[in-house]
Amino acid sequence: MSRALDLAERAVKAAEGDEADVSVHVESSGFARFAASAVHQPTLIRDEAVTLRVVRDGRVGCATTNRTDDEGLAEAARHAAEAADSSPVDPGFAGLQELAEVPEAEGYDEATAALTPEDQAEAAAAAIAAAPDLGLYGYYTSGVTELAVASTTGQAVSQTMTDVSVLTLAASDDSSGYAEATSWRASDLDPAAVAREAAVKAAQTHGATSVQPQTFRAVLEPYAISELLFYFAFTSLNALALLEGRSYLSGRLGEKLFDESFTLWDDGLDARSYPKAFDLEAVPKQRVLMIEKGIARDVVWDRRTAKQAGEGRVSTGHALAPPAQAFGPIPFNLAMSAGDAASVDELAERVGDGIYVTRLHYLGVVDPREGIITGMTRDGTFRIEGGKVTTPVVNLRFTTSFPALAAGLLGLTEEVTLVNRSDFYDERYPFGTLVPAVATDAFTIVGTGSGPGL
Amino acid sequence: MQELAGHAIDAAVAAGAGYADSRVVTRRAQLVATKNGEVDSVSDSETEGIGVRVLVDGAWGFAGDPRLTEEGARDAALRAVAFARASASRARVRVELAPIAPASGDYAAPVERDPVDVPLEEKIALCLRAEEGMRRPEVKITEATVRAMREQRVFRSSEGARVTQSFVECGGGIDALAVSDDGRVQNRSYPSAHGGSSGQTGWEFVEGLGLDREAPRVGEEAAALLTADPCPSGTKTLVIDAEQMVLQVHESVGHPTELDRVYGTEAAYAGTSFLKPGDLGSLRYGSEHMSVTADPTTPLGLGSFGWDDEGAPARRQPVVEGGVLTGFLASRETSALIGRDLGGSMRADSWSRMPLVRMTNLHLEPGAGSVEDLIADVDDGLYLCTNKSWSIDDKRLNFQFGTQVAWEIKKGKLGKLVRDPTYMGVTPEFWGRLDAVAGPEEWTMFGLTNCGKGQPGQHAHVSHGTSPARFRDVQVGVRQ
């Protein structure tokens, strides 16, 4: 039995209620962070977080603790009981997950789990050494996360995940390039190759010039489309947003909203992503087809939103832990269809004249109902002229409609890439999006910023 | 806790650390959220642990452990030393720390009524009452939240620092979401968007917010926005309310003046800064009306403390004076790099994270007069209130911010309500257009709990005091 499941079952026994479920995160991770090609803020984390949800006479309360001795669990149980007793009956509570099989999921690699702080430091050093002419900024991180959920219904599930990411920004005062890679197997990653990709990109950004703001045809690398897609998904592919009318898909399910080449799904069992067997209510993960050939089909659901919707809806296995469920269910295994373009160069040919975007920065959702997102490009923005990527461009402010971007797709690459989407706040929970590079006829630039570089 | 912190220091030094500090932290936090008249979440969380930071041959190492035992303290210390040693052999630079006198003493937030001890029933009742006041036919979703936290933090260092601090925070906010029959959506919040406002004090702070008092106005304005005209585009004079000025100060003054960003060490994620170390004392940041101060001694501020997380004492330091850059937010390491004692802004969001250069309480100093006085001197402009969206580039120059609501200003008078306002600017140009800041009677402090930075990520709790301010000739609206 895993440490996490043992903790979950002990906490269920400690719970004071008619029913209870417990989710547990156990994390052991290391960050070999670097800046200006020197080690910077290297951080090792060990932690355990136990979240109890108890139900007492239809009232629900939650408590979280990292004190995992008997006294700590008992105190958390008392706090959860007090929270429940203080609350009115919760008519929206959908009950606990009944006993159910969860699928086998990949996502654990012994060699990755065995990485030591010395290994992490060595991998960071390999990245730094691969970009000798520029300052290198970023990190190499690896971790082991045990998840478990147990409940008074008898459900007791656990999964151990590994994850590893290398992120590099190669930069000088007037140049910068970016590359990253992620996997649940460290052997999939070559930190030096990632750093070289960033350095090569940086070398192409000297002498950036401005462009006139307008709606451009554009190529977006996987790093860029991944971030836009996740912001759109967080605000629109979420059942709570759908039910509350805040989602772009509210009232539009069944309509053809995007280009026929745009198909999007969430599949927790896809071994190319960060596989997950169940959500934090212990509901088995289901594959959810959200966009099919441009037609809006569905969003992801948790037990609460499924109950709210009625009409036979069931959770698709996308719940957050109970205290965070106010955000609604979240698709953590987004995957976008591949296309037929052999490379980003072929996408540039389809664009003809436009811009090429490597990476985005600091996105903000201006209008979630219409899918309008703002942000900046950085670390590798170029003109596309005559079907070729040509000269570097300064950082650009975009305020663009994601639906218009996806309705105007000109092509997608054959290859899809897993892009890490975790910034490692709070408990470690590896997730990412599987995306191709894309070409679109609608990427709206509204302003220009500073040049590349530090 | 002091003893455990001491064990960690002893273990780190014995293992070869040239410098070591340790923080032992225990925290309890509560959140009550209600939605559409029902309880959405009642949660109570506890976390505790020890974080040990070391320098070995001039290279940093940090490790955290949740066990508040001698074994946990020693393991964290030894892991931190091992990680530092693994890095030190490849280090290109040797970290130096600016000297400070070893800190000693206690700090406690002023509290009349401990917010964690306020019965949950009372918190739920307050939320439900406030929600009730926002209800209108057009308002489909009402939400209210209150939060409470108390934290004990012990700090020791191998230089002899020995500090115990107690922090207490609480806050709250309300939101109304109106949806029209044809699917348009608008929202209003009070006292601030994105989780309300918090203070470092007792429950009396939440009671003073007047959530239920403001609720009817919030609901009415959300409903009214559904039929409002879109905000016009163009170059306008803006009067910006204190709440949106908080965001403006935070993003375009606070982050760019963090000295770690200036030196580039946050380039990979949060970004750098348009400022250079040599700009200190000479760079014109804005007009003569602009003065900004970092002040971790401000009563009720979420960034107030006795000592920061590397033992530097709290002190008020100017950042911009009369429009000229005169300070940075700094650590001991970055103070040593710049050769000036600017430290006192190192903060970690938990025991498991390494301290970073962070804002504490960063204030726009007040000018004179009322918001009505600012509006009276506008021929054609807009009065913008309450943040809705924000984005700024990696050097903190080019920004686009949106607010929940605006009112037109015509010939010195407030006019009609308009929806979806956004404005754009470039930081020093924008602040150069500042021609008035309202006076102390309009100065209000807001506490935010969602400032992200670092890898792994950390959320800082910071406060900003501002008055409404007026900016001439600003680009409003965006090309679509």
Tell me the pLDDT tens digit for each residue of A111-145.
999 999 999 999 999 999 999 999 999 999 999 99
> Which sequence spans correspond to the domains of chain B?
2-227, 230-476
pLDDT for the residue B90 = 76
Q: Which residues contact A210 (CB under 8 A, 6 or more apart)?
A: A393, A394, A448
Beta carbons of A121 and B124 less than 8 Å apart: no
Q: Which two tokens stand for residue A109?
A: 């690699």
**Alpha-carbon span B212 to B129, nearest angstrom:** 6
For chain B, what percent of residues have pLDDT higher than 90?
96
A271: helix, strand or coil: coil
For chain A, percent of residues with pLDDT exceeding 90:
98
**A contact residues 323-362, partner B, Cβ 8 Å cutoff:** 323, 325-326, 361-362
Tokens of B287: 């007009």
Paired residues of A151 in beta bridges:
A21
- Any B CB within 8 A of A424 CB: yes
| B62·A62 Cβ contact <8 A | no
Length of chain A: 454
Write out the two tokens for A240: 């709570």
A110 exposure class (CB count in 10 Å sphere: 0-12, 13-18, 19+): exposed
Whether domain B2-227 has CATH 3.30.2290.10: the reply is yes
- A209 lies in a domain? no
Tokens of A298: 């569905």
Residue A335, pLDDT > 60, answer yes
B253-271 mean pLDDT: 97
Q: Residue A65: is it exposed, middle or buried by C-beta count within 10 angstroms (0-12/13-18/19+)?
A: buried
The CATH number assigned to the domain holding A70 equals 3.30.2290.10
Q: Which residue has the tokens 């090309």?
A: B479
CA distances from residue B348 to A445, B2, B412 in whole angstroms, order as listed: 37, 18, 46
Total structural domains in chain A? 2
Higher pLDDT, B479 or A388: A388
- Please report how many Cα atoms fall inside a 13 Å half-sphere around the Cα of residue A453, on the Cβ side: 16
- Which residues fall within 8 angstroms of residue A300, CB to CB, at 6 or more apart? A237, A238, A239, A266, A288, A290, A316, A318, A329, A330, A331
Mutate to test the interface with B, among A23, A40, A55 (most CBs of B within 10 A): A40
Candidate from B183, B402, B455 with C-beta closest to A424: B455
Type of residue numbered B320: V
CA distance A48 to A431: 19
The answer to which of A280-284, A334-338, B181-185, B428-432 has the lowest mean pLDDT is B181-185
Give the distance, in angstroms, between the CA of residue B172 and the centroid of all CA atoms in the same chain. 15
Q: Give which of B131, B297, B135, B145 is closest to B206, Cα–Cα.
A: B145
Encoded amino acid at A57, one letter: D
Residue B393 to residue A169, Cβ atoms within 8 A = no
User: Could you give the angle at which helices A70-86 and A3-14 cross, rounded to 10 degrees?
Assistant: 50
State how far the Cα of B350 lies from the Cα of B355, in Å rounded to an integer: 9
Q: Model's pTM, two decimal places?
A: 0.96
Give, to the nearest 10 degrees, the angle between helix B2-14 and helix B70-88. Answer: 40
Examine residue A144 and state whether it is found in any structural domain, yes or no. yes
Residue B478 has a pLDDT of 63
Q: Is A423 on the interface with B (CB under 8 A)?
A: yes
**What is the value of ipTM here, to two decimals?**
0.95
Q: Same structural domain for residues A176 and A299?
A: no
Reference B127, options B219, B4, B215; nearest CA is: B215
Average pLDDT of the residues in B131-155: 97
Q: Answer whether B238's CB lies under 8 Å from A428's CB.
A: no
Q: Write out residues 414-473 of B within 8 Å (CB-CB) of A.
A: 420, 422, 424, 426, 452, 454-459
Q: Does residue A248 contact residue A403 with C-beta atoms inside 8 Å? A: yes
- DSSP letters along A88-124, please? PP-TT---PPPS----------HHHHT--HHHHHHHH
Residue at token pair 């029209």: B180
Degrees, nearest 5: CA angle A308-A310-A313: 105
* A106 lies in the same domain as A232: no
Name residues whose C-beta falls within 8 Å of residue B336's C-beta, 6 or more positions apart in sequence.
B96, B97, B98
Does any domain span residue A210? Answer: no
Beta carbons within 10 angstroms of residue A122's beta carbon: 18
Give the pLDDT of residue B340.
95
Rounded Cα distance, A239 and B19, in Å: 51
Q: Is B226 on the interface with A (CB under 8 A)?
A: no
pLDDT band, very low/low/confident/very high, at B408 (cuts 50, 70, 90):
very high
Annotate A5-25 with DSSP letters as a single string: HHHHHHHHHH--SSEEEEEEE
Q: Among A24, A25, A26, A41, which would you mutate to test the B interface (most chain B Cβ atoms within 10 Å of its Cβ)?
A: A41
Average pLDDT score, chain B: 96
| pLDDT greater at residue B345 or residue B182 | B345
Q: Provide the percentage of residues in chain A whose pLDDT is more than 70.
A: 100
Each residue's pLDDT tens digit, A186-225: 999 999 999 999 999 999 999 999 999 999 999 999 999 9
Averaged pLDDT of chain A: 97
Judge whether residue A11 has pLDDT over 70: yes
Measured between CA atoms, how close is B13 to chain A, in angstroms? 18
What's the whole-number mean pLDDT along residues B115-141? 97
Digit-coded pLDDT (tens) for B265-322? 999 999 999 999 999 999 999 999 999 999 999 999 999 999 999 999 999 999 999 9
Q: Which helix (H) or strand (E) holds A385?
A: strand A372-385
- Which residues in chain B are contacts of A43 at CB distance < 8 A? 62-64, 353-354, 456
Q: Beta-strand (E) ranges in B326-443?
A: 346-347, 356-357, 362-364, 380-392, 398-410, 413-419, 422-426, 434-437
Residue B160 makes CB contacts below 8 A (sequence gap 6+) with: B102, B104
Sorting pLDDT into bands at 50, 70 and 90, what band is B480? Answer: very low
Q: What pLDDT, on a 0 to 100 scale, did the predictor assign at position A256?
A: 98
Q: Which is it for strands B104-108 and B162-179: parallel, antiparallel or unpaired?
A: parallel
**Residue A315, in any domain of the structure:** yes
- At B460 the three-state DSSP class reads strand
For residue A244, give its domain range: 215-448
CB contact under 8 A, A395 and B393: yes
Is A453 domain-assigned? no
Residue B87 pLDDT level (bands cut at 50, 70, 90): confident
Q: Are residues A195 and A308 in the same domain?
A: no
**Is the previous residue joined to A392 through a cis bond, with omega within 30 degrees of 0?**
no
Tokens of B90: 């490849």
- Cβ pair B347, B309 in contact under 8 A: yes
Residues A36 and A115 in one domain: yes
CA of A448 to nearest chain B CA: how many angstroms apart? Answer: 8
Same domain? A188 vs A263: no
A171 to chain B: which residues are within 8 Å by CB? Answer: 264, 267
For testing contact with chain A, the best of B75, B126, B310, B398 (most A CBs within 10 A): B398
**Radius of gyration for the alpha carbons in chain A, expressed in angstroms and rounded:** 23
Provide the 8-state DSSP code for B232.
Answer: P
Partners of A45 on chain B (C-beta within 8 Å) are: 63-64, 352, 456
Determine, yes or no, domain membership for A396.
yes
> Is pLDDT above 60 for A306?
yes
Same domain, A291 and A340: yes
pLDDT at A83 > cutoff 80: yes
Pairing status of strand A135-151 against strand B59-65: unpaired
Interval A389-439: pLDDT, tens: 999 999 999 999 999 999 999 999 999 999 999 999 999 999 999 999 999
In order of B196, B243, B417, the CA distances from B370 in angstroms are: 24, 15, 21
Whether residue A81 is contained in a domain is answered as: yes
Residue A369 shares a structural domain with residue A331: yes
From A172, A203, A234, the end of a domain falls on A203
Where does a domain end: A203, A234, A252? Answer: A203
Q: Is the pLDDT of residue A243 over 60?
A: yes
| ∠ Cα B368 B374 B376 (to 5°) | 130
Q: Are residues A308 and A379 located together in one domain of the fold?
A: yes
Whether residue B36 lies within 8 A of chain A, CB to CB, comes out as: no
Task: Residue B17: list chain A partners with CB under 8 A.
Answer: none
Cβ-Cβ contacts under 8 Å, B278 against chain A: none
Cβ(B84)–Cβ(B18) below 8 Å:
no
**B64 CB within 8 Å of a chain A CB:** yes
- How far does B236 lie from chain A, in Å, by closest CA? 17
Whether the CB-CB separation of B203 and B451 falls below 8 Å is answered with no
CB-CB neighbors (< 8 A) of A118 in chain B: 82, 86
10 Å CB burial of residue A49 (0-12, 13-18, 19+) is buried
- Are A189 and A132 members of one domain? yes
Average pLDDT over residues B452-468: 97
Assigned domain for A454 exists:
no
Asked if A238 and A334 sit in the same domain, the reply is yes
Nearest to B140 among A76, A213, A245 (CB): A245
- Calculate mean pLDDT across residues A20-27: 98
User: Average pLDDT in the B146-153 region?
Assistant: 98
Among residues A292, A299, A357, A303, the alpha carbon closest in space to that of A325 is found at A303
Of the residues A146, A170, A203, the one at which a domain ends: A203
Are A395 and B64 in contact (CB < 8 Å)? no
What pLDDT score was predicted for residue B479? 44
Pick from B148, B151, B182, B158: which is nearest to B48 by CA? B151
Structure confidence by residue, pLDDT tens digits, A258-303: 999 999 999 999 999 999 999 999 999 999 999 999 999 999 999 9
pLDDT of residue B89: 78
* Sign for the pseudo-dihedral over CA of B11, B16, B21, B23: negative
Under the phi-then-psi rule, with left for phi > 0, alpha for psi from -120 to 50, and beta for the rest, what region is A238? beta
Cβ <8 Å between B84 and A79: no
Q: Do A224 and A342 sit in the same domain of this protein?
A: yes
Q: In chain B, what residues touch A431 (CB-CB under 8 Å)?
A: none
Output the CA angle B84-B89-B94, nearest 5 degrees: 70
Based on the domain organization, do A192 and A226 belong to the same domain? no
Note whether A65 contacts B391, CB cutoff 8 Å: no
B268 interfaces chain A, CB cutoff of 8 Å: yes
How many Cβ atoms from other residues are within 10 Å of residue B389's Cβ? 23
